[in-house]
Amino acid sequence: MGQFEFLRQVTIGIYLPGDSPLHRLDPRVKLVGFAFLAGATALAPTVTAGLYLLLLSLLLLRIANVSLGFALSGLKPALPFLLMLALLELVFTPPMAAGPRCVAIWRWGPFLLSDCVLRLILLIFIRFAALIFLTSLLTLTTTTTEMGRGTEALLAPLNRLGLPGYELSLVLSLTFRFVPTIALEAERLVKAQLARGADFGEGGRWQFVRRARGMLPLTVPLFLLALQRAETMALAMEARGYAGGQGRTHYRALHFRRLDAVLLIVTLFLGLLAFLPSWPF
């Protein structure tokens, strides 16, 4: 029955309690810094710039006292896919790596390894690893409450534009709150339907319509129970006089200290370094 313990598979929102400088950082700074570094990693133009960002994220993990093994566990399941992708790139050279200035390094049958393809493969791998580390860094050192408060503050300018910024952050916090509940519900539903003889695993790969139909005893009640929960919750909110959340205050106010400002500027600066034109390859 272990395979049906869904709650354990939900790793989002896992928080490693700690007292590192990163744990104590203002959540707004953490979110902006994460978005900036993640963006820099996704757009890093060269392999060495990517490597630099990878080392930077490793250094940050060290500061946050997160063990390397814990962060690396996210990398393992992706390895087969990475290999497949590398093979695909070798056989079908993508246009991005097929410029006239590419030099062939190695050729064997349909496989052609040029320096451009090698660069692309390395870049994809490095970006992936760095982003895994950055993501664990953010989620492991920030509680969901802090995350909600942080997004609320960062989305506040949207309210001025007439967009539902406050509501968006409320939706995010509520999603975090509902994920475990719905995972538990899914677990109960699967067990209940299996006890009644449901066949979730029946049918081969080609019978995907049958398999999808076989999922209905699970998905229909899962969605309907979720929607009912939403109705109840909306009713409860209205009964307590919810009428838009603007101007609400909080029990714990966020304080933007001088250290936060300094670290924010340092992060932005370190991220920008990746775009120096002098990174080779």
Partner 1 sequence: MESKTLSARKITVAAVLSAVAVVLGATRLGFIPVPTPAGHATIMHVPAIIGAVLEGPVVGVIIGGIFGIYSFLDAGTPIFKDPLVAILPRLFIGLFAYYAYAWTKRWGIVTAVTLAAIIGTLTNTVLVLGTIVLRGYLDGKTALAVGITHGLPEIVVAVVITLPVVLAWWRVDTGRGKSDL
Which residues 26-55 are close enough to bind partner 1 by CB under 8 A? 38-39, 42
Q: Near partner 1 by CB under 8 A, which window of 50-58, 64-72, 231-239, 260-268? A: 231-239
If we measure between CA atoms, which residue out of 42, 123, 52 comes closest to residue 86? 123
Contacts of 106 (CB under 8 A, 6+ apart): 112, 113
Contacts of 39 (CB under 8 A, 6+ apart): 271
* Inter-residue contact 169 to 152 (CB < 8 Å): yes
Q: Considering only residues 244 through 273, tell me which ones interact with partner 1, judged by CB under 8 A.
A: 244, 246
- Residue reference for tokens 């076989």: 214
Question: According to the binding rule CB under 8 A, does residue 85 interact with partner 1?
Answer: yes
* Residue 255 φ/ψ region, left for φ over 0, alpha for ψ in the -120 to 50 degree band, beta for the rest: beta
Q: In angstroms, give the least distance from the CB of 203 to partner 1.
A: 9
Question: According to the binding rule CB under 8 A, does residue 231 interact with partner 1?
Answer: yes
| Among residues 124, 158, 194, 273, the one that binds partner 1 under rule CB under 8 A | 124
Q: In angstroms, give the least distance from the CB of 1 to partner 1.
A: 14
The number of residues in the chain equals: 281
Question: According to the binding rule CB under 8 A, does residue 206 interact with partner 1?
Answer: yes
Q: In angstroms, give the least distance from the CB of 262 to partner 1.
A: 27
| Among residues 53, 64, 120, 263, the one that binds partner 1 under rule CB under 8 A | 120
